[in-house]
A and B are shown apart, each in its own frame.
Chain A
Amino acid sequence: MNRPPNELTRTGGPYVVELREVTRTYGGVRALRGVDLLVERGELVAVAGPSGSGKSTMLHLIGTLDRPTTGTVRIAGHDVPGLSDRELSALRARHLGFVFQQFHLAPGVAALDNVADGLLYTGVPPRARREKAAAALERVGLGHRLGHRPHQLSGGEQQRVAVARAVAGDPPLLLADEPTGNLDSAAGTEVLAVLRDLHASGTTILVITHDAEIAAWCPRQVRVRDGRIAGDDGPGTGRRPPGPVPATTKGAAR
């Protein structure tokens, strides 16, 4: 299923994410024990697996928030272990967007400013930041909630603000660690619909999920078990459009 390595050693290959024989140990705990994962541009990938299997650890490595103990991590063509902390910061600012299970919104700050501040480190001037933020909020269906502060928003709306913050700068790669974990199914559906639209517009998305239904909805599934990849539909399969958003409340999606 995997392509021959020689095609991948050059930068600028088709892979946004490239993990090769990656391990990560915390003291004595081997969280990852040799992971190979290739993700092409424009894929929507679900990462599933039991608790403690190493999903978050893998996402942190892909997100360059952490470095592998051994192995190769290449993100958007950049060799992560070879980059300085400053370079990694620039890489995150330009190429990566994160959505977490907790929304991590600044309390008491309007949605528009929460999203605009997400662009603080990208070098975009303040006025353009606010314009892009408004556009991103429009994109997640919150164009009418710009001035609302987090406590005035529902959980699903807060998570959509967090998604807007992650994608306001149009990063090629969006990483989401259980984005619907704190939401009920209706709110989860809203968030998935947003991910579907982003995927349709070409963003590469990796979603960690415990929810079998959500995993099955994604065109490509990667199963993690005991720090290893236990199953993978293969690079490229995630480019197919996903089916209809799994929902208990029809029409909750935009």
Chain B
Amino acid sequence: MTGETTGGRLVPARLGPSDVLRTGMAGLRTRPARVILSALGIAIGIATMIAVLGVSASSREELLRRLDRLGTNLLTVSPGRTLFGEQAKLPEEALRMVRRIGPVRTASATGVVDTTIRRTNHIPEAVTGGIAVQAATSGLLATLEGRVTAGTWLNAATETRPAVVLGARAAERLGVTRTGVRVWMGERWFTVVGILGPMPLAPEIERSALVGFPAAADYLGFDGHPTTIYERSAEESVEAVRAVLPRTVNPENPEEVTVSRPSDALAARAAAASAFTGLLLGLGAVALLVGGVGVANTMVISVLERRREIGLRRSLGATRGQVRLQFLTESLLLSALGGLAGTVLGGLATIAYALARGWPPVVPPWAFAGAAGAALVIGTIAGLYPAMRAARLPPTAALSAT
């Protein structure tokens, strides 16, 4: 420092980033309780949003993983409607035709039987419990990659006998928990030989009672027409198979055949964000807004209380811009603190919830970026007005305040 009284240019010194940070921290260090309280609002808002996004991402991840396990190479073929609007039928030989398609690895069929299943013959016929009776080919379990939780699946012997395998939901509704019990189907008793596990790709099987094709024809008057054909091919040829299926199944009326891919429904569910998620996000946004107002309020009070400090800094050579920057930094630090705490809390909440439900905990990376961005924007907006006020204080007024 020279004491020269020359008329040289007067240029204020620039503060380095660490000095700016230092000034921004000056006000926070001495008032820790207030810092925590004013950062809390932002922390709650950010935590809510991170948790909501994390939980929905975790559930989506769980769906996708399930989809991965189930495979997306299953197609179902079912009859559509005729030109005259009547329910069409699949030809009896449809299953054989499907099996002839090159890339098809496995195909099976079910056919709806027009009868009911009841626990005993004393229960009126109208009480079906929503259970469909269906004929099933013996390869169905393999095609659907399902399993029995009790007993066995239909085999060459049992498919000709009055034996029935219950889907998981059907068994539950009938109150059947073990094999060997008898149920009333059509006009006679059938023996339950197996109970199936869950079938995520074929929920209609879960609600069915399945008997062999020969048995259905012999005992229940089944006409032999399949109503659904399940087919799996190599993953890469699914589209090709899909294209030829209608013509193969019903060469005369291919338009009467409907082909669908059950995994599409699961994938759509994974892609869709629930309305509930939107609502919770909105709540988080409100909490965030309230938090921002809290920070702004704290900053206004801080400026009022620190008029003397502001005057002192001005007397030491701080420019208006440097005072403004100091309070803006302070506000940003406050909201960054809240954002950080909220991110940690939200992350922990996601992990706890996901683990409790057996999901893989996932928080999308953009949610973290969003949290940082939100904290930054809120800190800036909340700090702007108080910072301007601080900068506009005349140095003398600031110093004479007691």
Contacts and interface: CB of A to CB of B under 8 A. Distances in A.
Contacts of B10: 78, 83, 86-88, 90-91, 94
Contacts of A169: 1
Interface residues of A, number: 46
A76 B12 contact: no
The size class of the interface chain B forms with chain A is: 35 or more
Interface string B313-350: 11111111110000000000000000000000000000
Contacts, number: 121
A121 B10 CA distance: 13
A78 B7 contact: yes
A89 B12 contact: yes
B244 interface: no
B396 interface: yes
Contact of A12 (B1, B6, B15): B6
Interface in B1-45: 1, 3-7, 10-15, 18-19, 22-23, 26, 29-30
B308 interface: yes
Contact of A65 (B15, B309, B319, B395): B395
Contact of B320 (A85, A107, A165): A85
B5 A66 contact: no
A89 B1 contact: no
A172 B313 contact: no
A121 B317 contact: yes
B19 A11 contact: no
Contacts of B318: 89, 120-121
A118 B319 contact: no
Contact of B1 (A92, A98, A171): A171
Nearest to B6: A12
Given A11-B6, A98-B315, A86 B12 contact: yes
A88 B394 CA distance: 13
Contacts of A56: 400
B399 interface: yes
16 contacts: A76-B3, A78-B10, A83-B10, A86-B10, A86-B11, A88-B10, A89-B322, A90-B10, A91-B10, A92-B315, A118-B316, A121-B313, A122-B13, A123-B14, A172-B5, A202-B3
Interface of A: 11-13, 16, 41, 56, 60, 63, 65-66, 76-78, 83, 85-96, 98, 100, 102, 104, 106-108, 117-118, 120-123, 126, 165, 169-172, 202
